[in-house]
Amino acid sequence: MKADEVLIAHHDVLRGLLRELAETTDDQTGRREELRDRFLREIEIHAQIEDELFYPAVPDVSPLLALAHAEHRQIDDQVATVMRLDVTDPEFTTEVRMLEKTVRHHTMEEEQRMFPQSHALGEERLEQLGEQLRARKRELEDSGGMRLIVRLKRATLRHA
Ligand SMILES: [Fe+2]
Ligand SMILES: [Fe+2]
């Protein structure tokens, strides 16, 4: 898989999780918590593989980078808001939908503006980079470090 294909597949996972989360009802507390935690974990991994491997590899990306980083920060803030809310809070779904909107906007912008620029790297390099992204993603999924970060983040945000 090419680098952009790997990231688009992961965008689909992120968007899917938020869509599912937004569609849950107030009585599905366990499901809400599970989807919220899963999203937190996936978005942490996603931002990390982009920052570490993808963004630095894309040619002429600098004009788009400041915006991408600002959007990652905005997503972070909105995730924090969603993490702090009790899943039965009447505002919960509203906040999830706002987060979903930001994530949609950011991922579409990457897909429409940044990913086409990555095509300048050529097929071979894109495949290679795709493999690196997949390997790093797997590593983070399995890593105790990432699990710890997510757990700490969840605990801090919940009790802040
Ligand atoms: Fe991004
Ligand atoms: Fe992305």
Whole-Å CA distances, 7 to 84, 132, 140, 159:
28, 12, 15, 32
Read off the pLDDT of residues 80-136 as tens digits, 9 standing for 90 and up: 999 999 999 999 999 999 999 999 999 999 999 999 989 999 999 999 999 999 999
Cα distance from N-terminal residue to C-terminal residue, the chain = 40
Q: How far is the CA of 4 from the centre of ligand 1 (A)?
A: 12
- Output the CA 27–ligand 2 centroid distance in Å: 32
| Residue found under tokens 């808001």 | 81
| CB 131 within 8 Å of CB 42 | no
- pLDDT for the residue numbered 50: 96
Q: Which of 104, 118, 130 is nearest to 2 (CA)?
A: 130
Q: Residue 119: which domain range?
A: 3-159
How many domains does the chain contain in total? 1
What pLDDT, in 10s, does the model give residues 2-17? 999 999 999 999 999 9
Q: Over the stretch 28-40, which tens digit does the pLDDT of each residue have?
A: 999 999 999 999 9
CA 55 / ligand 2 centre spacing (Å): 10
What tokens were used for 14? 């992120």
Distances (CA, A) of 68 to 62, 103, 117: 10, 11, 14
Q: How far is the CA of 73 from the centre of ligand 1 (A)?
A: 10
pLDDT of amino acid 118: 92
